[in-house]
Amino acid sequence: MSKKIIIVGAGPGGLTSGMLLSHKGYDVHIFEKKNYIGGRNGRIQLGEFSFDIGPTFLMLPEILEEVFQKSDRKLEDYLDLKEIEPLYRLRFHGKQDFYPSRDKKYMHEQIKSLFPGDEDSYEQFLKKESIKFNAIIDCLKVPYGKIINMARPQLLKAMPSLNLGKSLYDRLSDYFKHEELRIAMTFQSKYLGMSPWQCPAAFTILSYIEHSRGIFHPIGGLNKISEAMGKVIEENGGKIYFSTAVKELIVDNKTAKGIVLENGETIYADHVIINADFAHAMTNIVKKEHRKKYTDEDLDRRDYSCSTFMLYLGLNKKFDIPHHNIIFANDYNQNVTEIAEKKILSKDPSIYIQNPSIIDHTLAPSDKSALYILVPVANNSSNIDWDKEKDDFRNLIFDKIEEKTELKNLRDNIEVEKIITPKDWESEYHVYKGATFNLSHKLFQMLYFRPHNQFEEFKNCYLVGGGTHPGSGLPTIYESGRISANLIMGLR
């Protein structure tokens, strides 16, 4: 008889393991608290407007392609991926806009005109970071469940290029003289919810990946990836139960045996995979008596990413701005310090605006726009009272957008609107401390020091998702799902 697998949560990590295991004949059962697929990579539908809840940038689609290939599927049969070129529009106070691009000639011209003297450094960046990327990428495909794994040949080979002890900003400053160009190449640490001045230099690979391999948008939004994965699981005979919350993990004799659902039902399995946000799952579904390492106090002490304030706007007008736009605070360093260290609301925040309906006509009627606005803010370890601040902060964001972009009178064009605050991330989306990008990616929370894929507290339990190795971000989350599935299949 095939082995039974329970997966707690239908986010990208759980769906990856579910695809790979159901393809190999395992009896996969995914229990999802919400009534939709994908977790933070799900969809919000507001009337005739459709939005991604979280991820809007797909990087390294080849990892997703591999997951589909391993399931004997072709990604292109399920998704229509479009490359976004130029990558995005970056707007700095009082400066001409910068459009980073994979077109080397265009990049050379732009850098020459906007950041004179840094053109050759850009070539150097691409060359040197390609060596680093090739060294690091293999380290992200294997588990680090034992301290001895830190001596894996892949990691030892990558070690010299990790620039240990340096921050992302310091490392990129070795290449570039101009402050705005340094920010343009380091702001990607925000994808991990970290400050470029604190994020380890190893993450220079993020901007390298974008500049060398591009960023992609599946038609219908990134939530279509989750839908496609769910489809494959069901084609393979796996089951996904929506609106079915897991209340408790059954642990007996230091072994995970199954789950108890909120409705009281008990279900046993050979292995349990936890995809729910790691610290949320520990503090909500794993009883204290089964946790020696990850006690409530230990989890509280750990370092977490920032949070995000979200606005999803259905607008009665077609807005002609690029797909991805980042409007930096006039003083970016101050803004980042306010988020990461002071944990207060910035009066001049940086703002990301996605206008996907410019290339994707499935998201809004042809004469309208679906706009996604993300503002990085402190996580809930701050003292910010979101019930009190929400409306004022929303108005500040509109004021800044109207002041700094061509989106004038935006408020007058709103047909439908939804807001997610850090408080909502925690209470409605089950994200510990509302830290949308999970445990931070400081070195002491990476590799062996991140919660292990084969969970260390008891047997037959595996972790997937942004809170485990290799970390937050879709490509690494897919790798976490693949690593845990391989461990269950005895492939490593």
Ligand X SMILES: Cc1cc2nc3c(=O)[nH]c(=O)nc-3n(C[C@H](O)[C@H](O)[C@H](O)COP(=O)(O)OP(=O)(O)OC[C@H]3O[C@@H](n4cnc5c(N)ncnc54)[C@H](O)[C@@H]3O)c2cc1C
Binding residues for ligand X, rule: CB under 6 A, are: 8-13, 31-34, 39-41, 54-57, 245-246, 275-277, 285, 308, 374, 430, 436-437, 465-466, 472-474, 477
Identify the bridge partners of residue 58 per DSSP, sorted by sequence position: 216
Rounded-to-integer distance, Cα 63 and Cα 425, Å: 27
- Binning the chain into helix, strand and coil, the percentages to the nearest 5 are 40, 20, 40
Could you tell me the smallest distance in angstroms from the CB atom of residue 423 to ligand X? 14
Rounded-to-integer distance, Cα 306 and Cα 292, Å: 27
| Helices and strands (H and E) in the chain: how many | 15, 18
Cβ-based nearer residue to ligand X, 165 or 264: 264
Cβ-based nearer residue to ligand X, 230 or 466: 466
Cβ-based nearer residue to ligand X, 232 or 374: 374
Could you tell me the smallest distance in angstroms from the CB atom of residue 285 to ligand X? 5
Alpha carbon distances (Å) from 207 to 100, 192, 204, 354, 374 = 10, 12, 6, 19, 19
Could you tell me the smallest distance in angstroms from the CB atom of residue 409 to ligand X? 26
Could you tell me the smallest distance in angstroms from the CB atom of residue 445 to ligand X? 15
CB-CB neighbours of 127 under 10 Å: 9
Structure tokens given for 364: 């809004």
Cβ-based nearer residue to ligand X, 70 or 178: 70
Could you tell me the smallest distance in angstroms from the CB atom of residue 276 to ligand X? 3
Cβ-based nearer residue to ligand X, 178 or 423: 423
Cβ-based nearer residue to ligand X, 167 or 305: 305
Could you tell me the smallest distance in angstroms from the CB atom of residue 278 to ligand X? 8
Could you tell me the smallest distance in angstroms from the CB atom of residue 474 to ligand X? 3
Cβ-based nearer residue to ligand X, 168 or 477: 477
**Do 373 and 313 contact (CB within 8 A), yes or no?**
yes
Rounded-to-integer distance, Cα 88 and Cα 205, Å: 18
**Do 318 and 367 contact (CB within 8 A), yes or no?**
yes
Could you tell me the smallest distance in angstroms from the CB atom of residue 392 to ligand X? 21
Closest CA to 206 of 59, 66, 96, 424: 59
Alpha carbon distances (Å) from 373 to 126, 339, 353 = 30, 17, 5
Give 366-393 as a 3 state SS string: CCCEEEEEEEEECCCCCCCCHHHHHHHH
Cβ-based nearer residue to ligand X, 313 or 374: 374
